[in-house]
Chains A and B, each alone.
Chain A
Amino acid sequence: MPTTKTSWLNSYKTHQGNDEMYSLNDELKPYWDKLFKGFDKLGVNGLTARQKDIDWLLSENGVTYNVYNDPKGMHRPWSLNVVPFVLHQEEWNRVEAGLKQRAELLNLVLKDVYGERKLIKDGIVPYEVIYGHRGFLRQCSGMELNLEKFLSIYAADLCRGTDGRLWVVNDRTEAPSGMGYALENRSTSSRILPEMFAKMHVKRLSGFFQEFNQMLVGAAPGKKENPNIVILTPGSHNETYFEHAYMASFLGYPLVQGNDLVVRDGFLWMKSLQGLKQIDVVLRRVDDAFTDPLELREDSHLGVAGLLDVVRRKNVTVINPVGSGVIENPGLIPFMPTIAKYFLKEELLLPQIASWWCGQEKEKNYVLENLSKLVVKRIDRTNRESIYFGELMTLKEIEALKKVILERPYRFVAQEHINFSTAPNLTNGNVEPRNVVARAFCIASKDQYSVMPGGLVRVASDSETVRVSNQRGGTSKDLWILDETFTKEDKTRQWQQKSSVAISGLNDLPSLTAENLYWAGRYVGRTLVNARFLRTVMRQMAIVQNRDEKPDSEKLKVLFKAVTQLTGTYPGFIEKDKDGKLAMDNPYEEMLSVILDKKRVGSLAHTISMFSNSYYSIRNLWSSDMWRVFENIQKLWNSLVDSEDHSINRILKVLNQLITRLIAFMGLIEESIMVQQGLLLYFIGLQLEQSSLTITKCRALLTIKYDDQVEYELLEYLLTSHESLNIYRYSYRSHIELEHVLDLVVLDLDYARSLTFMINRLQKDISRLPHSKQDHQLSNYQKFVFEAFSKLRLAESSKLAKTKSETDFSREELDNLMKALSKLLYQTSQSISNTYFNHTDKQNQLFTQSFPI
């Protein structure tokens, strides 16, 4: 067991005998020594504090990783260990050369399998390795592409074998993930360990990403100068959605989903606010089979019908090309040395994991005899669920696996089970060895490949685990390539000065993003207004002693009914439910349901979850402050929902905090998102929602005339829930009177919370939408808002406050006005939806069939 001078490593036990820090003859590698000497200055506390800073920064920036089939898995925080994985430039040079060679080889394989198929014809690769792989898409055969290199992005998982060399264990070619996380890890670690960065001469990543951007720009058909580029994501439920959003905002390209795009006239278009905008390059994170429901998986809603045809016509470039999943194929590994000789007359530079393809008799027999020592994979399913670890299987399971292999031997590959190297990891104040896998990235750069001087290192979750995968938990590391000399970042080469401007304004906003912003505005408005009103009602309930009793006061009944009307949780307090129960008999129970029942449409909990969803889907527009406050709101709310204590006081306390945080959040939105990015849509949604709810509230509380005392209190509640009581007192310095209340809450042109003010603002905002007209005839939604505004301007509070006669209870004129306004706002919303985010025309199959490809 090696020991060292640095106190860190005194208790460091590399029980597997293969550790990154030590050379084959157990000497501490000098650059690791340098790293830990650097850590010496920080001490245990210092380093632990830096780790905490990292954790904080990551959660601050909302870096997440979604785990499928795990209820707690959505938006799980990303984790990065403070101890980096370090490699010396000298070793990296060799790895780099090997990666470039491998990328080129796989590129040639890809071209060949969709072209002449000489590898098969000349007996280099058995036909089953290609034809028997589900990723071989016959629809893509013979396609010509705009690309010099078919394989534009290539990622390889590297591990250090017992011979001390880095081996390739996996190839990723379909839609390789991790580049964005690598970048995020770098930006975090360089902020947290700046002094180490300078001292260790860590190679910078920015040049690589500049090339990446150039690669996308250069991929445009006809070498267009300012191509339109989009990033296609499966959506916010995808495991690496964070990365899609991160790359989109880093590169400055719109993040779109399948329904944002459409094929017409042989071209690909993005539905934007203005209309259709032609797209030249798609960087896709949707898997091959899902990219085109017309020709590929018909049950896919993630792709665009007709996309393959546009590619065939060379009117769009998809990166990586559809069909590249076929070379994500461990069945190719045993043949790679021959392929290298065949295409390049070279030896394979990087060692690869020993693999036996079961399609060959001798290999199959070897595998069947040695199953308990091997790791078995499908050639076309390399995800964790389809990997069998012989070592961990019972005899019965092994026999079952044999049968499965024998059924279709060509579908299986077995690989050697090796203990790959460990690297030091800070765990609970100790440095401990953990198994690691490093993912390296290559991109096509003109006629050759470029390798990212860094990468994403994933770390096993505990010291017993040798399997490493993000899906299993575990953490990550930044990969530092250390140079002898300090390389200063070349600021003049900053890629940000790219010539291609992606989103040039509101016109090009993808309509799905616009719609999400609009709904974000509506939901945040609804949450705030409802929370305030519920707070007002709860306060009144707190004053009543027996909370379970039927309310005897008129005013409480009116308030409860208003709750139902405002939240739309019918029958609620209005009518008996289908079991004949009346909520009014037990108002506390009903109030709890309206507040906490997430499944009940209209409840506060439901509204908050809708609010969260709409925000999560536009998270590429967020600032880190927004993320923090957002997280805060979620935590606060979940703590209430999960807690036993649902007393009125507890709820009131949470509502207070919720309201404060919502207001902070709304303030942040206004300053973090630009109008061109769609903030306008957010405002339109917000104003529309707040206006509608004000109307509902006035209708519920004011259109019936009650006793003077009841009426007085209702007016006070209205003002309170509207946060306008102080303003009222300031403005009128008098007893609360309906006429004045109407003047302030409904008719005031200058008061920001008044209905007239909000509708006037709405009028101005919608006039800036791309299809609005400034002169001559107004567009439909403009007409509705204009009519609403005019109605309000023509109204007089003295008339609105009147009933028909002294004996009449109903304030008809007020009710009619509110009814008319309500209808106009509804029509406005419909018209805006139809004009700008018409997703009702979703893609449907002529025949509905569902089967996997």
Chain B
Amino acid sequence: MIFNVTHITKYEYNAPVSYCHNIATLRPRESKGQELLDYTIQITPEPTEISERIDFFGNYITRFSIQTEHKILKVTTRSKIKRDYAKFQESFKSPTCKNITMNNALLALQGMDPEVLEAKQYILESIFIRRTDKDIREYAELSFKGNRSIFDAAYELMQRIYTDFDFDSEFSTISTPIEEVMKEKKGVCQDFAQIAIACIRSVGLPARYISGYIETLPPPGKVKLVGADASHAWFAIFIPGFGWVDFDPTNNMIPKDQHIVVGWGRDYYDVPPLKGVVYGSGQSKLKVSVDIAAVE
């Protein structure tokens, strides 16, 4: 499928900002079953300088500075993406994926081949997902057992998070610690993804955080509203010998074509869509809108 994604981020300040430095992780990266056909970024006011680089995890990072005084910062990205991921669904049922037990995986992770080495960094603690407490490990161990397939375990973990946790957009912010999310059992997509990652790491397996978009389909018979789509986040687990498999605990599914990958890292900290330092004194109001239109 081919999608046109329009992502608008708008900051309104109550006092003028004299200048600012920003970093955006908005340009979708190439990933399995996904191709970027076209991409533009438009920033108002016009940045004095703008540059792009590829970060440690292979994501596109756009850096820009604005030196004209402004009260509104608006960043609009338009991406045209070819998504052909659904076809991999069959491969998850293959023995190389499904038959890897946790014991197999832990043994394989002792290895030194480049793919394993690359994946192993996702076992360690990260900025937002620090040492996990007993609750998280116990929660993980209900699904992850030595002789059980880690694919099945991850699938079950996803289902359990979907069932046990309530979606509550009021409860958490980016800096709510996962322990608290675990205790209260509510949050949003990035909380659920991070809970899953914490669980998987607590048993010694690699898991990463994926930031992207999801196309929301209107209820049957209704017209889709513009801007109703959203930024989204989910997780992936590394299955040695097979590779990374994505899971979306918010929607209780393995992503197909409606999920669009922007970037990945150890947790949210590595791939925030937009962050920055402004010179000025006021408060800001944030508005984000995402629109995904299937072209064919």
Q: Which of A's residues lie within 8 Å of B, judged by CB?
A: 120-121, 123, 127-128, 131-132, 138-139, 141-142, 263-266, 293-295, 298, 305-306, 309, 312, 407-408, 410, 840-847, 849-853
- B63: nearest chain-A partner, CB-CB: A309
A293 touches B277 (CB 8 A): yes
A849 touches B125 (CB 8 A): no
Partner of A841, one of B51, B274, B280, B286: B280
Interface check B23, CB cutoff 8 A: yes
B131 touches A407 (CB 8 A): yes
With both chains docked as a complex, state the minimum distance between the C-beta of A360 and any C-beta of chain B, in angstroms.
12
Given known A-B contacts A121-B114, A138-B56, A127 and B174 have beta carbons under 8 A apart? no
Q: From B127, B131, B277, name the one whose CB has the most chain A CB atoms within 10 angstroms.
A: B277
- A849: nearest chain-B partner, CB-CB: B175
Interface string of B267-296 (1 = CB under 8 A from A): 001100011111111001010000000000
B124 touches A131 (CB 8 A): yes
A-side contacts of B56, CB under 8 Å: 138-139, 141-142
Given known A-B contacts A843-B279, A846-B278, A265 and B127 have beta carbons under 8 A apart? no
- A852: nearest chain-B partner, CB-CB: B127
B-side contacts of A846, CB under 8 Å: 11, 20, 22, 274-278, 284
A851 touches B175 (CB 8 A): yes
Give the distance in Å from the alpha carbon of A407 to the alpha carbon of B278 in the complex.
Answer: 39
With both chains docked as a complex, state the minimum distance between the C-beta of A841 and any C-beta of chain B, in angstroms.
4
Give the distance in Å from the alpha carbon of A679 to the alpha carbon of B128 in the complex.
Answer: 48
Given known A-B contacts A846-B22, A850-B175, A128 and B65 have beta carbons under 8 A apart? no
Give the distance in Å from the alpha carbon of A121 to the alpha carbon of B112 in the complex.
Answer: 7
A-side contacts of B277, CB under 8 Å: 293-294, 298, 305-306, 843-846
Give the distance in Å from the alpha carbon of A846 to the alpha carbon of B63 in the complex.
Answer: 14
Give the distance in Å from the alpha carbon of A123 to the alpha carbon of B116 in the complex.
Answer: 13
A851 touches B280 (CB 8 A): no
A–B Cβ pairs within 8 angstroms, 20 of them: A121-B117, A127-B117, A127-B120, A127-B121, A138-B57, A263-B21, A293-B277, A294-B275, A298-B277, A306-B21, A306-B277, A408-B125, A842-B281, A843-B278, A845-B275, A845-B278, A846-B275, A846-B276, A847-B174, A849-B175
Partner of A842, one of B49, B270, B279: B279
B238-286 at interface with A (beta carbon < 8 Å)? 269-270, 274-281, 284, 286
Interface check B163, CB cutoff 8 A: no
With both chains docked as a complex, state the minimum distance between the C-beta of B286 and any C-beta of chain A, in angstroms.
8
- A840: nearest chain-B partner, CB-CB: B281
Given known A-B contacts A127-B117, A306-B21, A138 and B274 have beta carbons under 8 A apart? no
Give the distance in Å from the alpha carbon of A139 to the alpha carbon of B277 in the complex.
Answer: 17
Interface string of B2-43 (1 = CB under 8 A from A): 000000000100000011111100000000000000000000
Partner of A264, one of B11, B65, B112, B174: B65
Interface check B94, CB cutoff 8 A: no
With both chains docked as a complex, state the minimum distance between the C-beta of A504 and any C-beta of chain B, in angstroms.
27
A123 touches B65 (CB 8 A): no
Interface check B159, CB cutoff 8 A: no
Interface string of B159-172 (1 = CB under 8 A from A): 00000000000000
A-side contacts of B48, CB under 8 Å: 264-265
Interface check B104, CB cutoff 8 A: no
Partner of A849, one of B67, B174, B270, B284: B174
Q: From A120, A850, A851, name the one whose CB has the most chain B CB atoms within 10 angstroms.
A: A851
Interface check B184, CB cutoff 8 A: no
A-side contacts of B51, CB under 8 Å: 309
A844 touches B127 (CB 8 A): no
Interface check B55, CB cutoff 8 A: yes
Given known A-B contacts A306-B21, A306-B277, A138 and B65 have beta carbons under 8 A apart? no
B-side contacts of A142, CB under 8 Å: 56
B11 touches A844 (CB 8 A): no
B-side contacts of A138, CB under 8 Å: 55-57, 270
B75-93 at interface with A (beta carbon < 8 Å)? none
B67 touches A847 (CB 8 A): no
With both chains docked as a complex, state the minimum distance between the C-beta of A847 and any C-beta of chain B, in angstroms.
6
- B56: nearest chain-A partner, CB-CB: A138
With both chains docked as a complex, state the minimum distance between the C-beta of B70 and any C-beta of chain A, in angstroms.
13
Give the distance in Å from the alpha carbon of A142 to the alpha carbon of B53 in the complex.
Answer: 11
B83-122 at interface with A (beta carbon < 8 Å)? 112, 114, 117, 120-121
B-side contacts of A127, CB under 8 Å: 117, 120-121
With both chains docked as a complex, state the minimum distance between the C-beta of B238 and any C-beta of chain A, in angstroms.
14
B-side contacts of A263, CB under 8 Å: 21, 65
A-side contacts of B65, CB under 8 Å: 263-264, 306
Give the distance in Å from the alpha carbon of A656 to the alpha carbon of B22 in the complex.
Answer: 56
A851 touches B127 (CB 8 A): yes
A-B pairs with the 6 shortest C-beta distances?
A305-B277, A138-B56, A846-B276, A841-B279, A306-B21, A141-B56
Beyond the given pairs A138-B57, A294-B277, A298-B277, 8 more chain A to chain B contacts, judged by CB atoms under 8 angstroms and listed by A's residue number, are: A121-B114, A294-B23, A309-B63, A841-B281, A843-B279, A847-B174, A847-B286, A852-B127
Give the distance in Å from the alpha carbon of A853 to the alpha carbon of B127 in the complex.
Answer: 6
B-side contacts of A845, CB under 8 Å: 275-278
With both chains docked as a complex, state the minimum distance between the C-beta of B138 and any C-beta of chain A, in angstroms.
14
With both chains docked as a complex, state the minimum distance between the C-beta of B274 and any C-beta of chain A, in angstroms.
7
Give the distance in Å from the alpha carbon of A280 to the alpha carbon of B79 in the complex.
Answer: 39
A-side contacts of B280, CB under 8 Å: 841, 844
- A266: nearest chain-B partner, CB-CB: B49
A-side contacts of B275, CB under 8 Å: 294, 298, 845-847
Partner of A265, one of B49, B117, B278: B49
